[in-house]
Amino acid sequence: MLADVGRFRVVATRDLAATIYDNRQSRMERDLAFLREKGLIQVDSVNARRDGRGGSVERIEVVTLTKGGQSLARMTSDLPRDQKLYAGMVKPREVEHDTQIYRAFRKEAERIERKGGTNLRVQLDFELKSQIQKAIYVERKVNPERGMDEIKQQVARQFDLPFVDGGIQIPDARIEYELPRKDDQDRDHGPRTGHEDIEVLTAAYRPGHLRHKAQAGFHVYASASDRATLTARIEGDHHLMDRILEL
């Protein structure tokens, strides 16, 4: 549980109960109380997004790691050494969206593991953006005469990301994994690698933004309520909705 919270920065307790604890709510609550007492996690209740919806504001209980929890998760988990772990909460207004990334990951991970994928590693958009910005900076420093669009297109290819309307499309998360070699002759070369990019849409997405994400080829997810709002907003592009998976 510490490893999952660390990988995604923030996870809703209801999702932890449904996945890691197999809906054993009381057991999860005991563990959370123990870890909180030891100063390893922080449990907070935050407001859900409104997005123009009426009625009472839903509250979401979420878990984040403290610095101590981050260190313990690193020492005790069997995650890849290059897997980044996070501590603390950022952008409270985006917490509901950020918790949905974990839900989308669990769905994608099941699909990846069914086809033999192992050693899953997660990169959140924070990490990807940092790497892309560094790559752009290096290219500009090497050849300051090159146009920015040309540099961005090169960096997009380097990271296997789409370049759409002058910008590099960055997913909410990238899942990297290993696959076994198909035959005995290739096994000496080690495992094959692959990745899947996931994006969680919300009702706040505008048609143009949604279209860019669909064109990017990401595995796109949205909650049932967000899907309903988006469907009404893009009446002329119903084919886009066919590509949106439900959380």
Under a CB-based contact definition with an 8 Å cutoff, are residues 198 and 104 in contact? yes
pLDDT at 53 over 90: no
For CA atoms 115, 119, 120, 126, the dihedral sign is negative
Alpha helices in the chain (DSSP H): 2-8, 13-18, 25-37, 67-76, 95-114, 125-142, 148-158, 207-215, 224-233, 238-241
pLDDT-derived band at 33, boundaries 50, 70, 90: very high
pLDDT tens for 133-150 read: 999 999 999 999 999 999
Report the percent of the chain where pLDDT is more than 90.
Answer: 64
Mean pLDDT of 60-81: 94
Residue 56: per-residue pLDDT: 67
Query: pLDDT-based confidence at 184, cuts 50/70/90?
Result: low
Q: Domains in the chain, please, with CATH?
A: 1-90 (1.10.10.10), 92-247 (no CATH)
The SS3 call for residue 139 is helix
- Tokens for 8, please give them: 């995604």
Specify which residues 246 forms β-bridges with.
222
pLDDT, position 192: 85
Judged by phi (left if over 0) then psi (alpha if -120 to 50, else beta), residue 145 lies in alpha
